[in-house]
Amino acid sequence: MVHAHPIDLEQWPRRAHFEHYRHRRPTYFALTVGVDVTRLDAQLRTHGRRTYPAHIWALATVVNRHEEFRMTVDDDGNPAIWDVTHPSFTVFNPRRETFSNIWAHYDRDFRTFHDRVESLIAEHRDATSLFPQGFPPPSNLFDISSLPWVSFDSFTLHVENGWSHYAPVFTLGKFTHQDDRLTMPVSLQIHHAAADGFHASRLLNELSELIGAPDWVS
């Protein structure tokens, strides 16, 4: 059973920041970086693993390291931290030119998670509904979408009445080839009540480090 544990507001260093950006100046911010995926791409090819599940696993791994990216609020609006958050990700149906949102239980073991996601994608790639696994989905999810058709320097979502959404949102873009390197744009969007620029930068730097040292692929 997954729980969201309440934050001790009296001891929380970010209490004032949370209250300011939640109540006085509700704010989201977005940050896009280029991640070097050269070594990961080669490692995946060597071991016959798929790219999208690997990217999803890497994102879920760094998200689950940090409480600020597992934040939610309870029914009274008080901040709390999930034990674990699972990735929700898009799967494109080329025949209909629509996508579906599916989700997978995160597992620290890459091979276990990879095979789970690969199976889910195969099962739902022809889905005709937005949420083929049922609605509503679990509450402890964060979002990943993929735009493999275009590279970008920035990407921002504008969510009407979305001020109670504290989970991070990631968007992945098309690889760019330059010399002998491959780069993938990764956009992070997060509520400023949950995290600051320091936290976003740390997470994206850790993602780059994890992807840049893909010894976990096997």
Catalytic residues: 192
Cis peptide bond N-terminal to 136, omega within 30: yes
C-alpha separations of 120 from 57, 147, 161, 202, 205 in Å: 14, 19, 31, 30, 29
* Phi, psi (rounded to 5 degrees) for 176: -115, 130
- Listed in order, strand segments (DSSP E) in the chain are 4-6, 28-36, 71-73, 79-82, 86-93, 98-103, 141-147, 169-173, 176-178, 181-191
